[in-house]
Amino acid sequence: MPTQVPGPAPYPAWLEDAVCYEIYPQSFCDSNGDGIGDLPGIVERLGYLEALGVTAIWLNPCFDSPFLDAGYDVRDHRLVAPRYGTNDDLERLFAAARARGIRVLLDLVPGHVSWEHPWFVASMRHERNEFSDFFIWTDHAWRLPDGLRAVTGLSERDGSYVANFFVHQPALNYGFANVEPGHPWQQPVDAPGPLAVRREIRDIMRFWLDRGASGFRVDMAASLVKHDPGRRETARFWREIRAWLDTEYPEAALVSEWGRPSEALPAGFHMDFLLHFAQGGYTPLFRQGSRHSMMGDPYSWSFFDRSGHGNIRAFLDEYQRDLAATRHLGLMCMPSGNHDMGQRLADGRDAADLACAWAFILTMPGVPFIYYGDEIGMRTVRGLPSKEGSYDRTGARTPMQWDPDGVNAGFSTAPPEALYLPIDPDPERPTVAGHEEDPDSLLNRVRGLIALRRAHPALCAGGLFVPLLAEAGRLPFVYERRAPGAAERIVVAVNPSASACAADVVGDPGSGSVETLYGPPDALVARGGGWQVRMPGVSAGIWLVR
Ligand code: GLC
Ligand code: CA
């Protein structure tokens, strides 16, 4: 029997029933007809987000940038990119969202800047200056740093610099955990350059928190200190940031793009994402193999696949291990997708498949993250050229589809050729307005599931998660959620397969009373030392048990 978590939750209280929605600002809503989404456009659509039931927005970078990596190449951290609006527009968004109970998390990119950032431009100069040590430079143009991505030949300064991602994203200097003898250009983490960089990042966070941001999604959070085995020094930096937030901004939330909750949560993040890279457990849920695949190997199929060949253990073994290791530290968050996964949740799935997947996403612990458009089943648009460094990520970044009849699906009044990316040309493409009309649409189901989650503490972030039936080669997958210390118990079953299935599930049936909250009534019946569950093909059920 799991015991109650002692003491207060290790995250701001508002995260407990939070549901977060990721907005790629260039593709959400264009208010001024220039073909690019913008901040006033997001403000116009806040009513939609409120009605959906989301309580937070994660906004991809909206800062001044040459946009060689869609804004992850920041040129001025304290200035909103003119194409999105002004600093005042961002403050208006914070306030208008907050008035509807929605907080806004900004995207913090601590590991690198644009090569056009004034700090980097100064650091490229021959004369030593205040910014010479803000980046990692070797001591000669011909000397390349071992094991790091180096760029040489661009500067007056005699040296090569370390790039964190693309060549145009020079790595900020957080120092080296282990300075190698004979490499004086490698600086320790407490050298003046790295200390100045750390102060700047904190000041940038303070700047936006003081103006109404509610926290940050932190880009490549594990990437800061170089030659850092186990990322111990990087973690030390984040713990300092967390200690500072705890005293000065205790309501602010931090979610990391780390992809290893067992490292990121001890490093001080309130939340870490389950991701398509780093560890393997997330991909086999939705993005592995497909029903069109010819391979019969069960490990090559997604769990949410009509074939029923998927294996929940491919996800759960790692998930349960990490959950047990981090339960008292923070939250593991499940995204439906994001701007880096070039494959949307809806690819190869119909409305019933998607409803089943969403019932799972919205009843798991942590904070669920909805990638814009996934709530209506937007699909990846294939065959597009790269846009601002998107490459294989392009097709999942196309404009939000609002209206079946409006120009550009209601995204923008610009001529189609002026759009940031084209609208999905499929005549069957889903739209918000189309889904509003149908009470049984995916959008309305997602809305219902969000409302259900937020109404039941057992289903929220810190509620316990106990698998009841989770075996390779067997369906359904059944689990219980329970609020720590509270009496409420909820059982969830998902059957992504096209075939009906039934099983006896061992568990405490309580008094035997079962109330259907979602899905097929009478599918869960108390029996002996547990329940009998009978699920139709492609279905999910949620039941309150007493
Ligand atoms: C992160 C972002 C991605 C970006 C990269 C470099 O992975 O999510 O979009 O290209 O970092 O900043
Ligand atoms: Ca615009």
CATH code assigned at 160: 3.90.400.10
Mutate to test the pocket of ligand 1, among 219, 273, 391 (most ligand atoms within 8 A of CB): 219
Q: Is pLDDT of 367 > 70?
A: yes
The verdict on 430 and 489 lying in the same domain is: no
Q: Is position 456 within any domain?
A: yes
pLDDT digits (tens, 9 = 90+) for 13-30: 999 999 999 999 999 999
Q: Is pLDDT of 294 > 70?
A: no
Contact between residue 340 and residue 282 where contact means Cβ atoms under 8 Å apart: no
Question: Separation of 72 CA from ligand 1 center, angstroms?
Answer: 6
Q: Which ligand is nearest to the CA of 71?
A: 1
What local confidence, expressed as pLDDT, does residue 7 receive?
A: 54
pTM: 0.97
Contacting residues for 506 by C-beta, under 8 A, at least 6 apart = 468, 529, 530
Q: Which ligand is nearest to the CA of 41?
A: 2
Instruction: Tell me what the mean pLDDT of segment 421-448 comes to.
Output: 97
Nearest to 424 by CA among 410, 414, 436, 409: 409
pLDDT digits (tens, 9 = 90+) for 144-186: 998 999 999 999 999 999 999 999 999 999 999 999 999 999 9
The verdict on 370 and 422 lying in the same domain is: yes
* Total number of domains in the chain: 3
Question: Separation of 103 CA from ligand 1 center, angstroms?
Answer: 22
What is the DSSP code (8-state) at residue 384? P
Q: Is position 294 within any domain?
A: no
Question: Separation of 389 CA from ligand 1 center, angstroms?
Answer: 10
pLDDT band at 485 (very low <50, low <70, confident <90, very high): confident
Q: 384 is in which domain, residue-wise?
A: 12-109+331-462
Q: Which of 404, 438, 462 is the last residue of a domain?
A: 462
Q: Is pLDDT of 278 > 80?
A: no
Question: Separation of 69 CA from ligand 1 center, angstroms?
Answer: 8
Q: Is position 416 within any domain?
A: yes
pLDDT band at 276 (very low <50, low <70, confident <90, very high): confident
d(CA 451, CA 544): 15
Contacting residues for 187 by C-beta, under 8 A, at least 6 apart = 133, 173, 175, 176, 179, 193, 194
CATH code assigned at 504: 2.60.40.1180
The verdict on 366 and 453 lying in the same domain is: yes
Binding site membership of 340 for ligand 1 (Cβ less than 6 Å): yes
The verdict on 86 and 167 lying in the same domain is: no
> Which is it for strands 63-64 and 76-80: parallel, antiparallel or unpaired?
antiparallel
Instruction: Tell me what the mean pLDDT of segment 210-227 comes to.
Output: 98
User: Distances from the Cα of 491 to the Cαs of 319, 334, 528, in angstroms?
Assistant: 19, 19, 16
Q: Which helix (H) or strand (E) covers residue 216, if one does? A: strand 215-218
pLDDT digits (tens, 9 = 90+) for 87-118: 999 999 999 999 999 999 999 999 999 999 99
The verdict on 481 and 362 lying in the same domain is: no
Ligand 1 atom, smallest distance to 164 CA: 6
Q: Is position 316 within any domain?
A: no
Q: Is pLDDT of 135 > 70?
A: yes
Q: Which of 446, 462, 478 is the last residue of a domain?
A: 462
Ligand 1 atom, smallest distance to 112 CA: 12
Q: Which helix (H) or strand (E) covers residue 526, if one does? A: strand 524-527
Question: Separation of 376 CA from ligand 2 center, angstroms?
Answer: 23
Binding site membership of 109 for ligand 1 (Cβ less than 6 Å): yes
Binding site membership of 67 for ligand 1 (Cβ less than 6 Å): no
The H-assigned helical ranges of 253-312 are 261-264, 283-286
Average pLDDT, the chain: 95
Q: Is pLDDT of 123 > 70?
A: yes
Question: Is the sign of the CA dihedral 506, 507, 513, 516 positive or negative?
Answer: negative
pLDDT band at 121 (very low <50, low <70, confident <90, very high): very high
The verdict on 429 and 453 lying in the same domain is: yes
Contact between residue 370 and residue 19 where contact means Cβ atoms under 8 Å apart: yes
Q: Which of 395, 430, 462 is the last residue of a domain?
A: 462
Question: Separation of 219 CA from ligand 1 center, angstroms?
Answer: 6
The verdict on 421 and 349 lying in the same domain is: yes
pLDDT band at 487 (very low <50, low <70, confident <90, very high): confident
What local confidence, expressed as pLDDT, does residue 8 receive?
A: 62
Question: Separation of 416 CA from ligand 2 center, angstroms?
Answer: 13
pLDDT band at 330 (very low <50, low <70, confident <90, very high): very high
pLDDT digits (tens, 9 = 90+) for 371-389: 999 999 999 999 999 999 9
The total number of residues written for the chain in this structure: 546
The verdict on 383 and 484 lying in the same domain is: no
Question: Separation of 325 CA from ligand 2 center, angstroms?
Answer: 45
Mutate to test the pocket of ligand 1, among 62, 65, 72 (most ligand atoms within 8 A of CB): 72
What local confidence, expressed as pLDDT, does residue 6 receive?
A: 47
Q: Is position 514 within any domain?
A: yes
Q: Is position 410 within any domain?
A: yes
Instruction: Tell me what the mean pLDDT of segment 62-88 comes to.
Output: 99
pLDDT digits (tens, 9 = 90+) for 507-544: 999 999 999 999 999 999 999 899 999 999 999 999 99
What local confidence, expressed as pLDDT, does residue 310 receive?
A: 92
Mutate to test the pocket of ligand 1, among 62, 165, 386 (most ligand atoms within 8 A of CB): 165
Binding site membership of 257 for ligand 1 (Cβ less than 6 Å): yes
What local confidence, expressed as pLDDT, does residue 248 receive?
A: 98
Mutate to test the pocket of ligand 1, among 27, 58, 60, 69 (most ligand atoms within 8 A of CB): 69
Q: Is position 452 within any domain?
A: yes
The verdict on 89 and 143 lying in the same domain is: no
What local confidence, expressed as pLDDT, does residue 298 receive?
A: 45
> What stretches of 300-442 adopt beta strand conformation (E)?
331-333, 369-371
Q: Is pLDDT of 345 > 80?
A: yes
Question: Separation of 411 CA from ligand 2 center, angstroms?
Answer: 10
Q: Is pLDDT of 304 > 90?
A: yes
Q: Is position 64 within any domain?
A: yes
The verdict on 441 and 356 lying in the same domain is: yes
pLDDT digits (tens, 9 = 90+) for 235-273: 999 999 999 999 999 999 999 999 999 999 999 999 999
The verdict on 125 and 78 lying in the same domain is: no
The verdict on 358 and 453 lying in the same domain is: yes
Binding site membership of 228 for ligand 1 (Cβ less than 6 Å): no
CATH code assigned at 387: 3.20.20.80
What local confidence, expressed as pLDDT, does residue 486 receive?
A: 79
User: Distances from the Cα of 374 to the Cαs of 297, 336, 348, 361, in angstroms?
Assistant: 28, 7, 13, 12
Instruction: Tell me what the mean pLDDT of segment 380-400 comes to.
Output: 98
